[in-house]
Amino acid sequence: MSRTSTALPCLLLIMVLFFSGLNSFKICSYNVPRFNKSKTANYRIVHNLARIVGRCDISLLLHVQDLTAVQTLLTTLNSGDDRCGDLSLVRLFFKSCFLGMQNPFVYAQVSSRPLGKDKNDMQYYTFLYRTQTVSVTGQHQHESTDFVRPPFAVLFNSSKTLEPVEFVLIPLHSEPTKAVQEIDKLYDVFLEVVKKWQNTNVMFLGDFHAGCGYMTRAHKKDIRLFSNTSFSWLISDRTDTTVTDQTSCPYDRIVVYGSSFLKHVKPFSAKVFNPMKRFKIHSRRLVEVSDHFPIEVDLKSSVTSLLQTQSLYFLLLSLHLLLNL
């Protein structure tokens, strides 16, 4: 068998990943219960978590109890060894077939102050993001007794997304018994953030406890994010965001304001991500990380982004190498 015929499947896979994976900007949210130093002491948990969040341009982590645990995860992500998402497949095949290309992403983090009323369970809202595709241009901690863990709004700017390139992400990890009231009060946070930044490109995301006994259909009339039709709920009431078979609840949600921002969302991209199917992680190992599934949504990306330009370069270089084998 010729070297060309051996390398051709590698090139075809890279082409598929290029056209399917690099034409979107992925935003993810993941509730990782009691994420602290004790949890990151388990290498398997860190490894699996790095594989999951390493697929995303921005990842919201909920229930972070210790920022040193976040630093451990960042070290793992930035080492490149545990990033087994779509792009690390490109790296793997280049390494085995061609040049040993390095993973192009470096991750950074931005976090809220510790939030909560239980001194034994103070939590940070933490965003991990790829510095090559997005930057933080503003942050704002909402101050209100309406929430147990008040939202922490972050203004992001990305050269990879289509216009508009600047948008606000607002997380919520609701108190289960106050879920209806806290989800409704997100509307007040929306008004506050829009006034502060003059930007209506707003997305809410996180574990709202928006289902089962905590939020029912009857409650929707009391929630302004439902009664105001300018808000689009991208994760439906029928979606199960929990891992175990004992529950089937749409706790985790993504909500986008306005048609101008919504048109930049890739159609049908808002969904649950199942690591058991993608990475063949057994359910008992996934539950070590979380009893929730991650949720995600894609924004359409600019075809002129730097990352795609670099990726196209590597693609053309691969073709050149093949033709000269």
The confidence band for 311, taking pLDDT boundaries of 50, 70 and 90, is: low
The confidence band for 97, taking pLDDT boundaries of 50, 70 and 90, is: very low
What are phi and psi for residue 4, nearest 5 degrees?
-65, -45
Query: How far apart are the C-alpha atoms of 94 and 7, rounded to whole Å?
Result: 10
- Under the phi-then-psi rule, with left for phi > 0, alpha for psi from -120 to 50, and beta for the rest, what region is 280? left
Name the strand (E) or helix (H) holding 33: strand 24-35
Angle between helix 86-97 and 3-21 (nearest 10): 160
- Confidence (pTM): 0.83
Fold of 3-323: Deoxyribonuclease I; Chain A (3.60.10)
Q: Does residue 91 have a pLDDT over 70?
A: no
Average pLDDT over residues 156-185: 92
For 11, 52, 91, 180, 249, the CA distances from 246, given in Å and listed in that order, are 43, 23, 38, 23, 10
CA of residue 102 relative to chain centroid, distance: 22
How many CB atoms neighbour CB 253 within 10 A? 28
Tens-digit pLDDT profile for residues 219-232: 999 999 999 999 99
Sign of the alpha-carbon torsion through 273, 279, 283, 284: negative
Structure confidence at residue 141 (pLDDT) = 98
Tens-digit pLDDT profile for residues 130-157: 999 999 999 999 999 999 999 999 999 9
Q: Domain coordinates of the chain in residue numbers?
A: 3-323
For 8, 15, 169, 316, 321, the CA distances from 325, given in Å and listed in that order, are 11, 19, 48, 14, 6
Structure confidence at residue 16 (pLDDT) = 47
Output DSSP code: residue 257: E
Q: Does residue 14 have a pLDDT over 80?
A: no
Query: How far apart are the C-alpha atoms of 17 and 90, rounded to whole Å?
Result: 7
